[in-house]
Amino acid sequence: MTIVEQEIHTPTKPPLYRDVRVLRWLFQFAVVGVVGYALYRLYDNAITNLEDSGLPTGFDFLDNQARFAIPGLEDSADYSVRKAYWSGYLNTLRVIVIGIPLCTALGVIIGIMRLSDNLLVRAVGTIYVELFRNIPVLLWIFITYLVIILLNLPQITDDVTPLDRFVISNRGIGIPWFNPDANLLTFVGFIGIGLIAVVGVNVWRRKVNEQTGQPSRGGLYGFIAFLIALAIAHFAAGNALSYEPSVIAENGRQIEGGMNIFPPYVGLTIALSLYTASHVAEIVRGSIQAIHKGQGEAAQAVALSTFQRYRFIILPQAFRIMIPPLASQYLNITKNSSLAVAISYVEITSIFQRVSNNATPALQALIILMFCYLTFSLGISLIANFFNRRLSLETR
């Protein structure tokens, strides 16, 4: 009897193969081993096959001359392949940076419209969503660029130059812009002065808000202060901030000076934004409907206006639900930007196509392309996760 009891009560170590901690570690090692082996086999397979076919296996081609010209960049034919990739990368980034805010703003508006009490507003929202969501985005890109932009913008020979400073044509939309080469330092300095003004005004408005209870309206006042500070600095320094007007070149074929916005860029960004907005709208609608009805009713009970109800009660709570699905829409807009190949916008996939056709090892060129998209996607995920953590409910 006594022996048996001792055995039960003495905490003896279980054998290794039954120790749950050891098993867990073993399992983790096994998983890592399996994944590692799989990756190694894929890599080895590729390298062996490349070598057998007498193809180069390295990334030396990045230093070769690209030899093709990139629209909007002078001397771009002398670029290295690496630099060509980089300019394509920046062009993709331009689409994302403008496209994401655009599709979010439009999507929120359409999403709220779909929940309106007004039949007409609701119908417009529904038609928008169904129209854009149910037609492939490639077609929207074609329609926006080939049909709307190319055919409706005036030709350069029509000589449409409002105020003699703008050029509107289907070869480019020229707007007057600061010449960054001539006065970059001044430009940056003035922006700095403007930002200081914004901060100052915001501090003042917050104090007013705390003392008198008036709404602070920091954004509005800040914007005005920014413009005023910029204007004062500009005139005080004797018109230091010169800009270049955009004009049609002497031979009447190209746009010179200022900033030239490339029509395929406009077409792509608008089409992607419009399309993605339809998905965003559905996410917004779903997230708002997921908020307890009582929240909206309580807001109405304390006499908040519709705008205030959304701005202060519903949207802040809805955003918490929205962020993960929104992030995946942002990833979609990034990946869909590769469809620009169809309409002459030279982004990173287009660069890849041209690089890989000029006797560059296709596999390596493709790996670099994949890596570039990975940095965009991981960047967006990182930012989304940051907001997700900040906005998530503290639950216990």
Position 37 contacts another protein (CB under 8 A) = yes
Rounded to the nearest 5°, which phi and psi values hold at 168? -120, 115
- Residue 54 binding another protein, by CB under 8 A: yes
46 touches another protein by CB under 8 A: no
How many Å apart are CA 146 and CA 132, to the nearest integer?
Answer: 17
| Residues sharing a CB contact under 8 Å with residue 203, sequence separation 6 or more, in sequence order | none
| Residue 51 found at the interface with another protein (CB under 8 A) | yes
- Within 10 Å of residue 218's Cβ, how many Cβ atoms? 16
CA 181, 187, 189, 191 dihedral sign is negative
Q: What is the DSSP letter of 65?
A: B
Exactly one of 42, 227, 231, 298 binds another protein (CB under 8 A); which one? 42
User: Residue 26, interface with another protein (CB under 8 A)?
Assistant: no
> If binding is defined by CB under 8 A, does position 327 make contact with another protein?
no
- Closer residue to another protein in complex, CB, 61/330: 61
Is 123 an interacting residue with respect to another protein (CB under 8 A)? no
Part of the chain binding another protein (CB under 8 A), chosen from 209-217, 270-278, 282-290, 347-355: 347-355
Least distance CB 241 / another protein (angstroms):
28
Instruction: Report if residue 25 touches another protein, rule: CB under 8 A.
Output: no
**What kind and span of H or E run contains 28?**
helix 20-52
Closest by CA position to 333, among listed 70, 102, 148? 102
User: Site for another protein (CB under 8 A): which residue of 114, 279, 320, 354?
Assistant: 354
Q: How many Å from the N-terminal Cα to the C-terminal Cα in the chain?
A: 47
User: Position 333: which residue type?
Assistant: I
Does 94 engage in binding with another protein (CB under 8 A)? no
Applying CB under 8 A, does 30 fall inside the site for another protein? yes
Q: Which of residues 140-159 bind another protein (CB under 8 A)?
A: 146, 150-151, 155-157
Residues 164-183 that bind another protein (CB under 8 A): 170-171
346 binds another protein (CB under 8 A): yes
Name the segment binding another protein (CB under 8 A); options: 129-137, 220-228, 232-240, 357-365. 357-365
| 19 lines the binding site for another protein (CB under 8 A) | no
C-beta separation of 251 from 171 below 8 A = no
B/e letters for 103-132, b = 16+ CB within 10 Å, e = fewer, are bbebbbbbbbbbbeeeeeeeeebeebbeeb
Counting contacts by CB under 8 A, is residue 58 touching another protein?
no
Torsion over CA: 292, 293, 294, 298 (sign): positive
DSSP H or E segment with residue 286: helix 263-290
- Calpha distance 312→235 (Å, rounded): 40
Q: How far is CA 136 from CA 49, 102, 142, in A?
A: 37, 19, 10
- Count interface residues toward another protein (CB under 8 A): 55
Q: Which of 97, 359, 367, 382 binds another protein (CB under 8 A)?
A: 359
Is 350 a residue that touches another protein (CB under 8 A)? yes
Window 217 to 276, contacts with another protein (CB under 8 A): 249-251, 253-254, 263
Q: How many CB atoms lie within 10 A of CB 169?
A: 20
Nearer CB in complex with another protein: 19/51? 51
Q: Which residues bind another protein (CB under 8 A)?
A: 27-28, 30-31, 34-35, 37-38, 41-42, 45, 48-49, 51-56, 67-72, 77, 146, 150-151, 155-157, 170-171, 249-251, 253-254, 263, 341-344, 346, 350, 353-354, 356-362
